[in-house]
Chains A and B, each alone.
Chain A
């Protein structure tokens, strides 16, 4: 285990990592680890367990990736269904449930974007609580680009080659511009990560800290939303303008 410890914020109920405080098997008092101290049976992780606590990491965004990996592998070994093949049905089910939760937690925290989205959900209750004004300019830009894309897709190779080539060059240039913008957004997101991490985890001057936190969360939410729009149009541009692109739009996503 790494030396990281999750610091619960005072004034809030400490989230218990385990589904219950008593061992499901021998009924003895649990001390908060994943196995009963007395009968050594595996214990079910609580469905309410947050992913940071699950992986023994502080609620920070620039996380220690090595610690994340190490904890993940250690816990995976503890919970892996292969080790429970000869155990009773109850333990098998717990092993499966814990492994599923652990995998989701790991996948979510490993990816910076998913990590930020998860933190926003966790801290703001629901990401929907933070509503940013819609980026009208970006929408107009996207719609215009989509018009060009539609026209480009409608021109089959062979006919109107000149217009097709002209559009292709324009769309490829647009794609480069947008990819650069997406990268800039990701830089700005990382800046917000550092701002978040610099905020005190302890509840010093609770109200001020909360409003600072909300401001960072809202800032991140805005970047993440705009990034999603840009990412989609970039994907469409890539799909349509790559040499191997199938004609027509990739439908279900």
Chain B
């Protein structure tokens, strides 16, 4: 089984690799793992006015997991929080041509997005400020 060209491209040139400070305003952090293979993925979003202005990831795992999270950060940028919640793992599978044995990598990326969004919402609720100022354009 070979990796698709898109997976190899994301693996060799990962987009948005890195991290934000967890405590920073408007930052949501999702850390998830795949118990089957032991991959660990951290995905972070930075939200301003209900829109994701930046996203970063760090993934320790196979090429497909890295590519899935790299692609996810690309897709997240510019989306509203609600739109981001609509991203489905099947779209990642399609875009990257993931084989059946690597579908769990895309599930991991979807879980990471959800976890980051939840973390952002939870922070916004408790801190108040960031969420209240948000008025979708």
Q: A residues bordering B, Cβ < 8 Å?
A: 127, 132, 134-136, 139-140, 142-143, 146, 221, 224-225, 228-229, 231-233, 236, 251-253
Contact, CB under 8 Å: B36 / A143: no
Known: A139-B31, A142-B60. A229 touches B42 (CB 8 A): no
Within 8 A of A (CB), among B7-41: 11, 31-33, 35-40
Contact, CB under 8 Å: A252 / B62: yes
- A127 to B42 CA separation, bound complex (whole angstroms): 24
CB distance from B63 to the nearest CB of A (A): 6
CB distance from A171 to the nearest CB of B (A): 15
CB distance from A114 to the nearest CB of B (A): 13
Known: A143-B58, A232-B60. A127 touches B31 (CB 8 A): no
Chain B residues whose CB sits within 8 angstroms of the CB of A233 once the complex forms: 60
* Chain A binding surface, main DSSP class: helix
Contact, CB under 8 Å: B37 / A228: yes
- A142 to B35 CA separation, bound complex (whole angstroms): 14
Count of chain B residues with Cβ under 8 Å from any Cβ of A?
17
Q: B residues bordering A, Cβ < 8 Å?
A: 3, 11, 31-33, 35-40, 42, 58, 60-63
- A196 to B97 CA separation, bound complex (whole angstroms): 41
16 chain-A/chain-B pairs, Cβ below 8 angstroms: A135-B33, A139-B31, A139-B40, A225-B33, A225-B35, A228-B35, A228-B36, A228-B38, A229-B40, A231-B38, A232-B38, A232-B39, A232-B40, A236-B60, A252-B63, A253-B62
CB distance from B6 to the nearest CB of A (A): 16
Contact, CB under 8 Å: A143 / B37: no
**Contact partner, A140, options B31, B37, B62, Cβ 8 Å:** B31
